[in-house]
């Protein structure tokens, strides 16, 4: 009974604390090779991918002004793999994938379960969005 109550609280309480500085470090370690140092899709490996990396600074602008949190989380943590990578984000492999123990609040108010590194990386990606 206690375990069920704890699980219910964990699944319904979105984590609000995100660390964009840690996310920036994750980004530079795991993402910049393809997406570029500033997230514009111009990293040194971009030319060898089947599909050019997305300009990550325009995610909100390309989604009607709302950051597409659920789509971004699931792309990063492997639940929505990208064909151009050849497999789910091979540069960082399992680092962001497979763990869904932290909730992040979607714009709809619903919690999206993922891992702490993904939460921090998403905080950084939200921070670099260009406002049109």
* Closest to 26 in 3D by CA, of 16, 41, 39: 39
Structural domains in the chain, sorted by start: 2-127 (1.10.760)
pLDDT tens profile 82-124: 765 555 555 555 677 767 889 999 988 999 999 999 999 999 9
Q: Where are the alpha helices (DSSP H) in the chain?
A: 2-12, 20-30, 32-35, 69-76, 116-127
Per DSSP, the chain holds a count of helices (H) and strands (E) of 5, 2
Entry pTM = 0.79
């Amino acid at each position: 009974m206690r375990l069920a109550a704890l699980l219910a609280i964990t699944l319904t309480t979105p984590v609000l604390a995100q660390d964009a500085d840690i996310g920036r470090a994750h980004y530079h370690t795991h993402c910049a090779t393809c997406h570029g140092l500033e997230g514009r899709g111009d990293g040194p490996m971009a030319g060898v991918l089947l599909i050019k990396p997305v300009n990550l600074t325009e995610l909100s602008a390309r989604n009607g002004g709302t950051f597409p949190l659920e789509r971004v989380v699931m792309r990063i943590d492997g639940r929505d793999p990208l064909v151009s990578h050849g497999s789910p984000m091979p540069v960082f492999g399992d680092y962001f994938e497979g763990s869904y123990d932290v909730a992040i609040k979607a714009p709809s108010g619903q919690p999206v379960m993922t891992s702490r590194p993904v939460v921090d990386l998403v905080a950084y990606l939200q921070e670099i969005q260009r406002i049109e």
